[in-house]
Amino acid sequence: MHKYKKEIAIGFIPVLLLFLQLYIGLNVIPIFISALVLTALIYIVRSRGNLAAIGNERRSKPRPPAPMSFEEIGGQERAKQELIEALDFLVHVERIAKLGIRPLKGILLTGPPGTGKTLLAKAAAHYTDSSYVAASGSEFVEMYVGVGASRIRDLFKEARQKALKAGKGSAVIFIDEIDVIGGKRDGGQHREYDQTLNQLLTEMDGIHTDESPRILLIGATNRKEMLDTALLRPGRFDRHIAVDLPDKKGRRHILDIHARNKPLAEDADLNRIAAESFGFSGAQLESVMNEAAIYAMRDDEEEIALRHMSMAIDKVMMGERTDREATKEERDRVALHELGHAITAEVVRPGSVSQVALSPRGQALGYVRHNPQQDRYLYTRPFLEKQIMIALGGAAAEELFYGDRSTGSRGDFDQVLSIVRSMAESGLTELGIIDERMMTPDKWAQINSSILDELMSRVKRLLAERRQVFTSALDVLVREETLSGDSFRELLAANEALPVQEAAQDII
């Protein structure tokens, strides 16, 4: 009889309402409407719960990542070594137990975008023979309070179940952009963010050394300063590993990895490409090789030549070539502007120019690509002054030939002001060691004027002495649209022997 209770209740309710309406005289219409609204709300809530369950089920079944080893990751030798040392706590369990070492609970990877943090996390799972579960910080934040905390619990539960099902003794959880949920708590109204972070902190505290399977949390961010101190302390993220931009040797290693499945021509010098791609991340270098292959396909060639790689570097740096139609006056002005940069660069830093181009890319109508002789991480005042002179060379050339400047120097001036600010904050100006809070707008204007006016005068004198180089190189650059570094240096050397009187003509 009890199995028919639901049907009896459903049949009894309308009979009761009819009795109240006919024999007692009670108006049951409001009650009926309220019942309908309540039923609809219950249905909606249950439907949302079912959809959320379906979404969690789908999310809990990600596609298994392709196996990744540390040998397949280039340019991060120091970061890989630090990570391997930390992961050995999961690999050599018996050894660390004898020494009484507590296994690490979390590893934080910090560094610019595209440096390989996600690849390192996948390689960590492969190295430790662990189950791997990945998520992004944005997956835990929604408008409904409690959803983020619930998903954190589900993530750790999923990692344990996945490891048990696969018969593995450990699991690696990777959370990309962890600053989304791990940001500093400021006591504001972001209760959902706080609850999600609190749940993450609780789960990390619950990872005991005797728990099986063991769970290692790897977080990645490019904004470490945004993270809450409770998340950064030892016992949660025990290791902080910096994943920086690769140096020249690292860039060559990355290029070798991405060139394995690509046919290269005899002139494809990867050492030269590694030198010309200073400041590139691993993702950008992968894009360089991919774009070079696309250029080779466009030219209907079966091998990737050096010029294809050179064009790929330009595209990754500045974007694809545009089809802007400039007037002859604009093209001449842009050509002189870029030659000003190139001449100044070759005089103050010989051999640094890799290419002078008149073709528009992105927002630039022309550009000079520099080839640093070696990677630098510390800068002296003379070096920075030379950098400022190179940036001012374009505007100085325009003043030399036209008597005025154009808006094309705006980006150069932004770069120059940034360098001056860096010099001042590093104590490399006549102001000595300063606190940025001491600097007023008037003081900044004064220091900018004192440095830039003197350097602009030096650049103008330097270019005026080499005026003939502009005349010789202008026709070639306008006609060919591109000058290689070697071709430009030949033009510069051929005109260095000209008499000074011929080069010092009156300014047009």
List, by residue number, the catalytic residues. Answer: 338
Which residue shows structure tokens 């998903």? 151
Largest alpha-carbon pair distance within the chain? 121
Nearest-Å Rg of the Cα atoms of the chain is 33
If you ran DSSP here, which 8-state letter would residue 133 be given?
Answer: E
| SS3 of the chain: helix, strand, coil, percent, to 5 | 60, 10, 30
Which run of H or E residues covers position 170? Answer: strand 170-176
Beta bridge partners of 356: 368, 483
Asked if residues 238 and 107 have their Cβ atoms less than 8 Å apart, the reply is yes
Q: Is the dihedral of CA 323, 328, 332, 337 positive or negative?
A: negative
If you ran DSSP here, which 8-state letter would residue 321 be given?
Answer: B
Helix-helix angle 282-298:306-318, to 10 degrees: 120
Asked if residues 196 and 149 have their Cβ atoms less than 8 Å apart, the reply is yes
- The Cα 493–Cα 481 span in angstroms is 20
Report the side by side order of strands in the sheet with 239-242.
131-136, 170-176, 214-221, 106-110, 239-242
If you ran DSSP here, which 8-state letter would residue 335 be given?
Answer: H
- The Cα 494–Cα 489 span in angstroms is 8
Asked if residues 478 and 331 have their Cβ atoms less than 8 Å apart, the reply is yes
Nearby residues of 292 by Cβ (< 8 Å), 6 or more positions away = 262, 304, 308, 309, 311, 312
